[in-house]
Homo-oligomer: A and B are copies of this chain.
Amino acid sequence: MANAELRKDPVVDRWVIIATERSKRPHANRTTTVSDGGEACPFCAGSEGMTPPEVLAYRDPSSNPNAPGWRVRVVPNKYPALNSLGDIFQTTDSAYVALNGVGTHEVIIESPNHCLSMAELGEEQVEDVLSAYRSRLIVLQNDQRRKSVLIYKNEGSAAGATLEHVHSQLLALPIVPREIEQEARALIAHYAATKRCLYCEMVDTERANGRRIILESAAFIAFCPFASRFPFEICLMPKQHSPAFDALANEELSELAFMLRQSLQRLLGIVDAPLNYVIHSAPLRGLKREHYHWHLEILPRLSKIAGFELASGYHINTVAPEVAARQLRDIAL
């Protein structure tokens, strides 16, 4: 079983990626991230040879590929959860369904310097990162084997990072994950019934209420969701209906960079927590894309995911989002 495999639970809608190659990561099971103390960081400028060759880099025009001179660099994950080659076929072991694990797993290295947090990056640097996301989404969505692309960040060991150098990841999948499919189906059903988008209505509700809003720009709103799973959870959402991240215009990317950096810095002003963020964008195919409404969820990891969460699929949150939003809104930067 050298290659990755996608397996479906026979009862509930839950796929698992069985990726035994990833257990070979040097620090797969350690509880802290690699520090800059002893070992060379493979994401720092000058260490380009420690990663697979780059698939995208924003760099000084006089510099060479896979050499210093870059601002943001995208490389294949050295220990991918999915393999990029091959056709997708279904393997069936009696009652069970599996797919061979074809997909794309990339790392977006967000700075040539050994920063530990995106909150340390300047606004233009954050904009470069978001621009790299858009570029890779545009390229990868042309592959008919992909049904969705997830972009996510693990920052801090407790949030799942194995390397501390500021980075995020992209995983293109041959399936639509449950969380995105549930959102997409709910949005499609709501549109069929009302001719309106449920997330557009949510933005209206939040703006009318105001208590959960952190800040707004011309095109975006940052708020703590009514049913926040985590203390200080933040949702960034376009105010106008917008199905997919890859359709963002340059001026929107720039505004989003401002909003994201503001959100991360405000959060850091309250608590220095490990965090994840995830981008939910329209599935690439299989569901009507136009009814989706993309958004970015910032998920601070102040509490543990424990037995209750695993047993139920639900969360316990000890900070009301109205309280979190007030603190995030009022903090002086």
Contact = CB atoms under 8 A, between A and B. Distances in A.
Given A199-B11, A302-B29, A314 B177 contact: yes
Interface stretch (A107-115, A241-249, A273-281): A273-281
Contacts of A178: 312-314
A28 interface: yes
Given A154-B306, A307-B278, A179 B28 contact: no
A209 interface: yes
A11 B184 CA distance: 9
B310 A276 contact: yes
A315 interface: yes
Contacts of A302: 29
A236 interface: no
Interface string A287-327: 00000000001010011111111111111111111110000
A12 B160 contact: no
Instruction: Name the residue in A95, A227, A231 with the highest tally of chain B Cβ atoms < 10 Å from its Cβ.
Output: A227
A276 B307 contact: yes
Instruction: Name the residue in A15, A157, A306, A317 with the highest tally of chain B Cβ atoms < 10 Å from its Cβ.
Output: A306
A57 interface: no
* Identical copies in the complex: 2
Interface string A1-32: 10000011111111111111111000011010
A19 B306 contact: no
A309 B158 CA distance: 13
Interface residues of A, number: 89
Contacts of A305: 160, 305
Contact of A7 (B96, B177, B226, B306): B226
Contacts of A120: none
A19 B205 contact: no
Contacts of A165: none
A308 B159 CA distance: 10
Contacts of A160: 303-309
A169 B308 CA distance: 9
Contact of A12 (B182, B228, B319): B182
Interface string A145-178: 0000010111001111100000011010100011
Nearest to A182: B12
A171 B318 CA distance: 16
A179 B306 contact: no
A42 to B, nearest CB: 19
Q: Which 3 A-B residue pairings sit nearest by Cβ, starting from the closest?
A: A160-B306, A152-B307, A177-B312
23 contacts: A9-B226, A9-B227, A12-B182, A14-B227, A14-B229, A14-B314, A16-B316, A17-B315, A18-B321, A23-B231, A29-B302, A94-B205, A95-B201, A96-B226, A96-B227, A150-B308, A150-B312, A154-B307, A159-B307, A161-B306, A179-B312, A279-B311, A297-B310
